[in-house]
Each structure stands twice: as structure tokens, then as C-alpha cells.
Structure 1
């Protein structure tokens, strides 16, 4: 146990020339170092004191409504493709292992089974480390491919190598830049830069699977006021030949998001093949109507 210096029980007397001691001012460099140095912590000593395992679960239910329902024409063996174009219901479960380490999964129901494509999953899953605090690193594995509960003969439930590993770093937009960009007094902007690596991906031009799909992305979220926000993410492809028609140059969204249990979230998101030059868009992708609207309700056990 740490030892403390003895304390006097009589009040200190100050002369007119004396000054009250002041705490060292926390600088931006201190905040950056604190965020970096605390990343990926696995506080094993909290196993006994942390919340019970059965209270580490959280969940949400979601309805997703696409603005168009025209299925894309892509070879049947593809397990990646355009974002879902089907009215869906989903249930998500997240288990907080300890600290900011977690694992989560989502199961989907398609209201029109005929529109479910090979790359539209029955379930998706994500695991890794993610801390909401600024200046922290994150490391995630995510698999949103054509995962199946009951795959056809010779097909796996999931292709792990077709998931994506992402190493990211969060940072806020601070003064004076935030004052130039925000049009509300309480506006805040948080950003994240990621390196994304997918070991195996489907290439439409060659109609075969290739390896080592790599991108760098920069995403920012502008909290306008309260829980209302807009966000956008831009992508840079380390090899432009790897970019598929459904791979976006950028994505965007807006809506009302509340992270607290027992709340409702309403969002519009567009993950389709958006292009900086609209002439480069693939057919039936990259338009505002290729996005979807979602309604979610979150809760804890």
C-alpha cells in the first residue's frame, strides 16, 4: 500500500505574498499520450470487481428500409456485393468481455426472401477493441459477407478470410478549427482514421477471388446539437484496381442517435458505390435513393 505524508490538522496561514498551489495544466499533448497509452488495456484485475458476466450483454432491434429494391446482377458465387436492397428486421447482441474488449453479432430476417442475394448475410459478427474516448486506438475484425445459418452443401457458414481487419485512431476536431466548421454553440466533431485489410475479396472483372484488399479511410461525425448528427467517410484504395463497383469513394449518413439503453435511433445511411465523379458510378448504385432508413431500439439485460 502506498504511504502518504502526514497531514496537519490546523489550517494553513498564508502571508500576503504567498500563493495557493495550482495543479499542472493538462495540455493537448497530455490528452493524446493518455489516449494512446491507455489503448488496448485488458484490466484483468477487474474480473472480480467488474460487473457480472450476465449483465455485460446489450442488444438492439432494428428495421431497415431501402429506398429502392432492385437487386444487382452479380455472379452467384460472390459473397460480397452492393449493400442490402431488401426490407429487413435484425437483432443485435453485444457482449462486453472486459474494459473495451467486446464481441457482437447480428441476425437478419428478409421480408422478401426472393430479393436476398448471395452476399446478403443471415448473420454478421464483429469483435475486438474499441474505446469511445478521443486519441485512442481501436482494432476490429468485422465480417459482413454472405454468412449462412444453413449453407448449401460444400458452402461454409462463414468465410473468415473475407472479413476485414481495421486498425484505427480517434481524434477530435478542436479549437480554432471547430469554431470555423460548427454553426451551433454545442457542435462537436470527432474523427477516425483507419487502415483496413481484407485477406480475400471477390473481383467482379475476373469473376474470381483475389487477396489483400487494402484501404485507408477517414471518417468524421458532426454532432450538431443534442443527439442529431451528420457523418461521412472517405476511402483511399492502395491499389485502385481492387475497387469494385459497389466499393464507395465515400459514405454518408445523418439522423438521431442515442447510445443509452431504452432509447430509439432513426438514421439514413448510404454505403453504396458513391463516386466523387458521378460519371464513374456503377449501374444502380451511388445515388441518394440507394441508401436506406433504419429505426432501432436499444436495451440491456
Structure 2
């Protein structure tokens, strides 16, 4: 049935060798009746054969064109070159015009009679139509009257229904208000009963609680008495044990304000890179004799630098006129070198949660320079009191220091003492105005009590983080005396 379009190439893809472009009409989405319009144009106006019959338009129209005038051939401009061979107009064959013969007389009379009958029928139809129109007008008027009366009845019924509905709503509202009032009164009565029961229960519970509280207080009092008795007995046993230990010691003295176990006092630091000394404000030591001691301690040190530089010998003296107040001085003699000294005064408390204020000149001060106040450093530090850190045997000190002629700096010190008298300590310092971060470190064995030895490796040089400069440190061996 598609042989016509297939013959003209509309259903085939263009070949590679024929060089023609033929659209595939079946792949194009067309609007409604697009195919019929297209078929009309190409079949009737452009002389394409019909795709179903295969005939041209002039071949299918010969029956009704026998008596028609011969269509003149339209004047067209020069034919346009198309990709395929077809004419832009339709060829119509010439049809000879034939004269029509006259009709017989009897046929004409029959047609005339038939025309008269038709006219009479038309007149009767007009009369009937007029009568129907008049009857329709009367019925329309009656319908309008009936419709108006019906509208009045409906309006009256709606008004009655509206009034009846309003009365029902009013009665329902009154009934709802009455029920709401009854429910409110019932709820109030129930609340009064519940409050009465709750008050009665509260009184019973309070009475029972007072009784149980009295019993608990009595039990607690008895338990506290037992604990107090046990504590007194434990303190007596501890005092007896301590007394026996003191009798066996080399020197007969009693320790007052003794630091806790595994605690080592953190030394006070001076400026950036300055060498510290352990705070002389250590817990006081007092003999059992009634002779009052002078509060003077002395430390003798021999320093062996790890980098192989000259060894040195130091002597440090400190005087504590009052608890936690001190003044100190230290002299150093480098083997084969110069003699120098340093000094310091201030307030220092070794216990956590305290603040220390010191003025130190860590030197080295040469002969003839006096006290050299312009090189002194004022420092303030606070020892952090933390149960969490103490659980890990760690102590922390935060401080700030400023030279008499210099910039303000901040420092933080952390010390870990896993075993009593053994410690690892590091300090980080930073100027407030900026610059590199310095740090120092030390580890060793130290006992604050007199007549004990101290062995320590320390590096208090100006170490730029993160470099350690281990060979710049020193090994210190010292012994302390008390006067």
C-alpha cells in the first residue's frame, strides 16, 4: 500500500552512491492531519501518484470532469531543478464539451406540479410553525409564573428551615453549656478529693521521712564515731612509725610541710635561655633541739658540659628569713676561665595552687659590675593545682617574665615524676611581641632534703624548637648542706 511513496524514495534511507537526500517521513512527529494535508498537496497539486492506489489525481477525477470546462494550463516560470523528476503542475486531459439535450414536455409538467406541491407544503409548514411559536409563548409565560411561585415556596421553606436550624443550634448550645458546667463542677470536686488525698499522703510520707532521717542520722553519727576512732588509731600508729623512722635517720630532725610523694619542686627560670636554679624556698627542716636554725642552705656543684667545653665549679647559698621568702647568691669558677656570680630575691612556694614572684639576675656577672640591676629579670609564676595531672605525677607551672630593659615573655613548664626524686622536665618560652619559640629540658635525680646528692642532665641554652642541641647541655653533680 506504500508503493507510491516507496517508488519516490520517501521510505528509503539515502544511499552512499546516488548522492540524494530523501527525508524519512515516518521518523518525524507531525501534528494532527499533517499526513492528510501533505498527501493532498503532493497528490492533487504536485501530481504524485497516490500511495495506496498508485494512480495520478487526473486519473481518479475523470467521471465528474466529463462535462466541465477544460482547465487551462497555468503559466509557470522556468521549471526549477529538483532532486527528482516531476512537474510543479498537474497535467489534465482535454475533455470535449457536449451539448445537453432538451428535456421532454411531460417531464417538465411533472416537475412543475411537483414544485407547486412543494410550495403548498412550505406554506402549510409556515402556518404550523407560527402556531407552534404562539403556543410556545403561552407555555413560556405559564412556566415563568409557575417558576416564580415555586421560587417563593422554596424561599419560604428555606427560611423556615433556617429558623428551625437556629432553634436546634441554640438548644444544643444550651445543653453543651449545661454539660460543661456539670463537668467543671465534677472536675473541681475530684481535684478537691485528690488534693485532700495528696495532702494526707504527703503528711504520711513526711512523717516516715523524718523517722528514717532520724534513724539515718543516728547511723551516720555512730559510723562517724567509728571512723574517728579508727582515724585516731591510724594516726597514732603512723606517728609511732614516723617516730621510729626518725630515730634511725642520720640526723635527728622532723620534716615540716613535707611535699607529697613523687613531687619535685620546679626550678624558677629567668630570661630566655638563662640558667635556672631550684627555688631555695624549699620546705623548712627543723631539728628536734630547741636551738633555732639560721635558715641558710648551701649547694656545691661540679658541672661537666656535654659538648666538651671547660668544666666549672659552683657554690650556691640561700637564706630564708621567713617561710617561702628567700634571698640567694651563686658563684661560678670556670676551670681555666673567668670568675662570675649571680643573685636573686623573692617569694616562692613549692605547693600547687600558689603564686611566686622573684627578681633574679642569672648573670654571668663579672667582677666590677656590682649587682647589674639593668640585667635583672622580674618573673611571676603560678603552679597549677589539678587532680587530673597529679594522677599522672605531672606538675605544671605557667609564668611570665620581663627583663628590666627588655620585652615581656611567657613560659610554661611541665614536670613528670614517675618515681620519687626522679624527674623529667621541659620548659617552652615565647616573647609576647613574637619571634621563635625556645625550649629547654632536664632530667635526673634530686632530693630537696639536706645531706643529699643531686645528679642531673640539663640544657638551659637558647634551643630553637624543635632542635634539642643535646651536646650543648651539662651534667651536674651536687650536694646540699643545712646550717
TM-score range, shorter chain: 0.5 to 0.7
Residue 217, structure 1, aligned to residue 411, structure 2: yes
More strand, by proportion: 1
Deviation at 1:213, TM superposition (A): 2.0
More helix by share: 2
Partner of 1:140: 358
Matching residue of 2:472: 290
Equivalent residue number for residue 58 of structure 1 = 297
Q: Does 1:239 align with 2:433?
A: yes
Superposed, which structure 2 residues align to 1:4-153 within 5 Å?
16-17=215-216, 18=218, 19-20=220-221, 55-69=294-308, 86-113=310-337, 116=338, 122-148=340-366, 150-151=367-368
Q: Secondary structure at the match of 1:161?
A: helix
State the partner residue of 1:174: 387
Structure 2 Cα separation of the partners of residues 86 and 193 of structure 1: 33
Three-state SS of the structure 1 residue aligned to 2:475 is strand
Q: 1:53 to 1:217 in 2, by over 3 A?
A: farther
Tell me, which stretches of 5 or more residues in structure 2 are unaligned? 1-213, 225-289
- Equivalent residues of 1:173, 1:189 under 8 A apart: no
Deviations 1:162-210 (A, max 9, x none): 11110110014432x555xx4xxxxx1111111101022xxxxxxxxxx
Contact 2:340 2:363 in 1 (8 A): no
Q: Which residue of 1 aligns with 2:92?
A: none
| Alpha-carbon distance in 2 for matches of 1:191, 1:178 | 10
1:65–1:88: 8 Å Cα contact kept in structure 2?
Answer: yes
2:420 maps to 226
Q: Which has the higher contact order (CA 8 A, sep 6+)?
A: 1
- The aligned residue for residue 41 of structure 1 is none
Relative to the length of structure 2, the TM-score reads 0.39
- Unaligned residue ranges in structure 1 (runs of 5+): 1-14, 23-50, 70-84, 183-187, 201-211, 279-285
The aligned counterpart of 1:276 is 465
Q: Distance in 1 between matches of 2:441 and 2:351?
A: 22
Q: 1:189 to 1:157 in 2, by over 3 A?
A: same
TM-score, normalising length: structure 1 = 0.62
How far 1:158 sits from its partner (Å)? 3.0
Instruction: From the superposition, tell whether residues 140 and 53 of structure 1 become closer, same or farther in structure 2 (CA, over 3 Å).
Output: farther
Q: Do the aligned residues in 1 keep the contact of 2:378 with 2:403 (CA within 8 Å)?
A: yes
Cα distance between partner residues in 1 of 2:433 and 2:292: 43
The answer on 1:192 being equivalent to 2:192 is no
* Secondary structure, aligned partner of 1:122: strand
Give deviations 1:99-126, integer Å, cap 9, x for gaps.
111101111111121xx4xxxx611111
Question: Partners in 2 of 1:166 and 1:58 — Cα distance?
Answer: 23
| Larger-gyration structure (1/2) | 2
Aligned residues: 203
1:273 shift after superposition: 2.1
Change over 3 Å in CA distance of 1:59–1:295 after alignment to 2: same
Could you give the per-residue CA deviations for residues 79-113 of structure 1, whole angstroms, max 9, x where no partner exists?
Answer: xxxxxx53111111110011111101111111121
Give the SS at the match of 2:387. Answer: coil
CA contact (8 A) 2:295 2:319 kept: yes
Are 2:344 and 2:360, in contact at CA under 8 Å, matched by a contact in 1?
yes
Runs of 4+ in structure 1 over 3 Å off: 51-54
Following superposition, the deviation at residue 53 of structure 1 comes to 7.1
